Amino acid sequence: MKFFVDTADVGQIRELAATGLLDGVTTNPTLIARSGRNFLDVIAEICAIVPGPVSAEVVATEHEAMVAEAEKLTPIAPNITIKVPLTLDGLKTCKVLTDRGIMVNVTLCFTANQALLAAKAGATFISPFVGRHDDVSWDGMDLIEDIKTIYDNYNFETEILVASVRHPIHVLQAAKIGADVVTVPPDVIKKLFNHPLTDKGLESFLADWAKTGQSIV
């Protein structure tokens, strides 16, 4: 499963990229706004750090304006992925951009029927929001299973990008279902490293080493 980080914090992206874990980055207008920086500058810097897909979201809601914004964003770097909403205009834009060989991430997906439409439109990625489903007492992972079944039935090439991830269990469940990608906030990625037995084992090893009075360097 590919790991994307869901942030526009360049410092955190650099830190995680250094681990070799990152396959891509997703951003959205909210994340960019939190950075307090120029949108195009942030996207360009992220693209230079991570060679994999970097999602840059359009803010227009009408097809022609979405295409115009995509034409402004695409030249920034070859790994730009244009992020569009799952609306009629968004899917029209998806089809146009896909026909031009541009990667497209269709976002704000909440039903398997929507995911089917995105695949038919040629989306590179579909982003179902599992956490927001959980917020309204519906298991978001049921949606991932439905999409996986439909895509497998018809051999769609669109990759399932699990979004709105809230905790490590979401990552585990997505991997067990066989989702192609999970996009995770930096703090959740860091939680994946944590286990009390790992901490205890390391503490024990270090204590034993200290007793030897030796140094490797």
- Specify the CATH number for the domain of residue 87: 3.20.20.70
Q: Specify if 217 maps to a domain.
A: no
178: pLDDT confidence band, cut at 50, 70 and 90? very high
| Contacts of residue 110, Cβ cutoff 8 Å, sequence gap at least 6 | 128, 129, 132, 133, 143
CB-CB contact of 145 with 133 (8 Å): no
Residue 10's pLDDT is 96
180-191 pLDDT tens trace: 999 999 999 999
**Do the domain assignments include residue 197?**
yes
Domain count, the chain: 1
- pLDDT of 129 reads 97
Kindly state the tokens that stand for 141: 């992972």
Task: Enumerate residues 6+ apart whose C-beta is below 8 A from 73.
Answer: 40, 43, 56, 58, 80, 82
Q: Is 211 a catalytic residue?
A: no
Q: How much is the pLDDT for 179?
A: 98
Instruction: Check 83, 176, 190, 211 and give the catalytic one.
Output: 83
Give 8-45 pLDDT, tens digit per residue. 999 999 999 999 999 999 999 899 998 889 999 999 99
Q: Which helix (H) or strand (E) holds 39?
A: helix 39-49
Q: Is residue 115 part of a domain?
A: yes
Q: Give bridge partners of residue 83 from the DSSP assignment.
A: 57, 105
Q: Give the pLDDT confidence of 67-119 residue by residue, as tens digits.
A: 999 999 999 999 999 999 999 999 999 999 999 999 999 999 999 999 999 99
Domain that holds residue 195: 2-212
Cα-trace Rg, the chain: 19
Q: Average pLDDT, whole number, for the chain? A: 96
Give the predicted TM-score (pTM) of the model: 0.95
Is the dihedral angle over the CA atoms 20, 79, 152, 28 positive or is it negative? positive
Q: Which residue has the tokens 């999970």?
A: 182
Evaluate whether residue 134 is within a structural domain: yes
Q: Which residues contact 60 (CB under 8 A, 6 or more apart)?
A: 66, 68, 69
